[in-house]
Structure formats: structure tokens, C-alpha cells
Amino acid sequence: MIIVGMVLKMSNKYKTIYADPPWNERGAGKIKRGADRDYELMKTEEIIDMKDFSSDKNINRKSGGSEISNVLLVDVDSKIPNLALMKISAYHKDHNDNVGFHVSDPDIVYASVVFTENEHRVDGLKFWYPDAEIRIGGSGYDISKKLPNEVEYIKPDYSLYPEIDYSIGFTTRGCIRSCDFCVVPKKEGKICRWQHPKNFHDEQFDKIKLLDNNILGDKEWFFEVTDWILDNEIKVEFNQGLDIRLLDQDIANRLVELNHYKTLKFAWDHPEDEEQIKQGIEQLRRADMDLRNKTQFYVLTNFDTTHKEDLYRCRKLKEWGTNPFVMMFKDGDEFTRHLARWANRKWILWSCDFTEYDKLPLKVRLELKSFD
């Protein structure tokens, strides 16, 4: 079988395959007369099997088989550039489609919802675009929905968000832990290596934003990835934070060696982890990390801890020289909102203790007294 013409290779798949000859000549006897003098011919079954090489029609064509040309992307609520939409955009551009946030008369509409409370915002899409195929995804809509491989591993279309000045991607997916409040284990499962940053980094940028949920869960890979980042003199951000409980002195030294363009984020979610948090901070200090200016710890509140435990964690982190940042699992009550106002503003945090914060209402002050 000789395939003489192929266009638009996508992750080992092809949008169009030209094959010559596409039929099996018969009746020539032992003497070869035509193309079969140069190469073997194809049987009908072999031609049918070639569908496995063609690209996924669910992605690049409307159902029914007609070519699509207009693809509208809807970014419902992303707080950072929407990586899935960037990949979908790259994929459709590779197929010569007209794709973007302002495409009219769409054949397909892709909408991404990150937060469940915004799920209703896509309800009207079918009304606005009755003739289009509506495809909705994102953690806030359906955590089981995944991009097909030929889209997932494509280099994102950075021109979709012209304001960004960094590359973005996951080098791992999943996590070694299973915290009750977190969607990652349900959505992504156990940690696995995903993509080397060289496959999504764009050389126009000198920064890279890693979206890994727990890259330290695979120490060897963390060093491989950060070796590449150092070799290429790229500034890095670990956007989802790092697991301080997995720190050792080698990792702490590496974190100091890297050029971070954003504050290094960790978390102290469970009060019982105090000893591990303290040790991790000590390792960072030994590595000469500027804790006060370069590190921050999320303090989960309003989930399964008391106000007293929340305040304790904030105070301890301050005592150890780093910055607490109060995260509210759901809308905070009065106490938690004031705790966040004090802890999350560095200039207030470092100027007074929570008890001295002069904006506290009487109710909060009375509760504080009961802690003693």
C-alpha cells in the first residue's frame, strides 16, 4: 500500500489521505501490467481500515459529515487564559477553520465553564445559535469531559489571548493525595506525567506558567522539568501551588535556584500538618529563601476547621516569617471575612496582630476573648 499524498498531519492522524492506487486490479495473470509493477495494490478492506489514520470527525466536522468553517469559542468564567480553548483554537486553525471569540454564524460553539456556579450561563447558547453544534466543557460543567488526544497534546494557540506574556500548560495531571474539598483526584486521578514543557512552551516568551496540581508528587520529573527551565533561562510560576509536605532540602535548594516571576504558593489546609509545614519552611529558610517577600501559604477556612484553628495557622505562619492567605471554601462568615482582611493584606498583617486590627466588630472581639 502506497500513500502518495497526505495533508495536515495531526498527532499521527490526517485530515485528508490520498491513496494511489485505491483498488485491487484483477485479471492480469502472472504478468504485471500497471501500477502493481511498482508497488502492491490495496484491497477494499485495507482502504476501509485507513479510517483509523484520519482525524477525529467529532472534532473537526459537524455531525452529518459536512465541513465546518466557523467555530465560536466562549470563555465563560476563566480567571486565567483558558488552556482548553487555546488548544481547540490551535486544532481548528490547523484545519483552516475560522475560529475565535468573535466568530459570527458559527457551525460549532465551544463553551468552557470553570466554576459550577456559572453553569447556567451556557443555558442560552442553543437559543442564540440554534443551527450550531454546542459543545460545553470545563470543571464547572462536567468533570468527566476530556479533550481528544489530538487536541489535548497540541501546542496552544497563544494568539487567542494576545495580552499574555507566558507559556502555559500541565507537565503532570492528577495528585498523590485525595483531599475531601478538592476536585483534582475525582477529575484527574492519581498523578501521571503529561507533557514536557518544551512541547507547549512558545519561544516568544521568557516565562512559563505551570498548572500542575502537585508536581512534587513526582520528584524525579520535577527535577527533569526544572532542569529544562533552568537550561533555557525561563522564569517560572507554579500556578496551583506546591506541596510543602513533600519538600526536602534538594527541592528547597532547587526552588531557590529557579527564577520565579510570581510569589511561591504553598498551603496549610489541615491543622494536624503543623510539624510538616514547619519543617518545610525551615528547609526553605536553610536554602536562603526570602520567605517574607517570596512565599505565601493558603489557609483553608470554612471547610472543617474552627475559627480558633484558622487564626492559629495564620499567626503561626506569620511567626515563621511567611505570609498566610485566607481561602474561604464557601462564603465566609463575619469572623472569617475579617480574618481574611487582616491576613491577606500584607501591610496590615505585618503591622499588627489580629486582636489589634482596629476594624474588628464587637462580635468578633468577643469571640476572640473566648479563645484565651
For ligand SF4, the binding residues (CB under 6 A) are 175, 177-179, 182, 184-185, 213-214, 243
Largest CA distance in the chain: 103
Which residue, 245 or 341, has its beta carbon nearer to ligand SF4? 245
CB of 178 to ligand SF4, least distance (A): 6
Closest approach of ligand SF4 to the CB of residue 213, in Å:
4
Question: What is the closest distance, in whole angstroms, from the C-beta atom of residue 185 to ligand SF4 in the complex?
Answer: 5
Least separation in angstroms between residue 147's CB and ligand SF4 is 20
- For ligand SF4, the closer CB: 71 or 175: 175
Cα 276 off chain centre by: 27
**DSSP for 22-80, written as a single string:** -S-----TTS--SGGGTS----HHHHHHGGGGB--HHHHB-TTS-B--EEEEEE-S-SS
CA atoms within 13 A on the CB side of 327: 16
Identify which of residues 121 and 245 has a Cβ nearer to ligand SF4 in the complex.
Answer: 245
Cβ 181 to ligand SF4 shortest distance, Å: 7
Question: Which of 177, 315 has the CB closer to ligand SF4?
Answer: 177
CA distance 111 to 125: 9
Distance, CA of 87 to CA of 21 (rounded, Å): 36
Name the residue nearer to ligand SF4 (CB basis): 1 or 182.
182
Smallest separation, CB 291 to ligand SF4 (Å): 21
For residue 300, give the H/E element and its range.
strand 295-301
Q: Which is nearer to ligand SF4, 187 or 315 (CB)?
A: 187
Is residue 208 within 8 Å of 239, Cβ to Cβ?
no
CA distance 372 to 355: 12
